Amino acid sequence: MSDWLSDFEDFCLRCGLSPSSVRAYLGVVKRFVAWWEGTSGEAFDPRAVTPLDVADYRRYLQGRGFKPATVNFNLEAIKSFFRWLKEERALPDNPAEGVKKVPEARLSPRWLTRREVGLLARAVQRYGTAKDKALFALLLHAGLRVSEAVSLRLEDVVIRERSGFVRVRYGKGGKYREVPLNSTVRRILKEYLAELPPRGGEWLFPGKRGPMTPRAVQKRLKLFGRIAGVEV
């Protein structure tokens, strides 16, 4: 198992993941392995893992009270691990590929009145950082889920002179959908991107360890909600 983890770590680094993201992925895989061994009573063998095992682990995490975004991050790391094993021809199939993510609440303007959206947007524009402005522009004006926004990588942002979009990735084989960006969101994103340091990592919204967490986003949202007098 240690050899697999070491090789998987090298693979993640070659794919351009930051060291902190790689550590997070490895931690997820190690915890899954420990859970599988404790449940099965056998030494871990990736060839013995079934889709039902992965679905059971998802339910196990939910039962421990983890938020949907945390559960989904675990699933994504586990899927990446088994996807790599399949590409290395160590497995015929990826047992995690068909396991669905946990639904997450959408933060979208339709949950707020137009007046509330305006108040919240003005609070962010007046008191927020460039990162806040870019993040909430995607949430409030592009309708992205919190988990979708924090999962964006720099390469997922495409801004042209008269158009632009972000790639929201999902499902099998690197599938994604393109969410168009209006001129206001493009301008805010361009200003934010100009402030990012070169070689600052792969994530559009980096946190302390890997991408910014949904919980951190909710805290910022509640802060600006209090400033604007809007309950969110």
Q: What is the pLDDT of residue 110?
A: 45
Whether pTM > 0.85 for this model: the answer is no
Average pLDDT, the chain: 86
Q: Are 159 and 181 in contact (CB under 8 A)?
A: yes
Say whether pLDDT at 104 is over 70: no
The backbone torsions φ and ψ at residue 206, rounded to the nearest 5 degrees and listed phi first, read -70, 150
| Interatomic CA distance for residues 116 and 120, integer angstroms | 6
Give the domain ranges of the chain: 2-87, 109-228
2-87 has CATH 1.10.150.130 classification: yes
How large is the average pLDDT for residues 105-130?
A: 77
pLDDT at 56: 94
pLDDT at 188: 95
Distance from chain centroid for Cα 66: 15
Has domain 109-228 been given CATH number 3.40.640.10?
no
pLDDT of res. 111: 65
- 145-202 tens-digit pLDDT: 888 899 999 999 999 888 889 988 764 455 678 888 999 999 999 999 999 887 667 8
16-61 confidence digits (pLDDT tens): 767 777 888 899 999 999 999 999 999 999 999 999 999 999 999 9
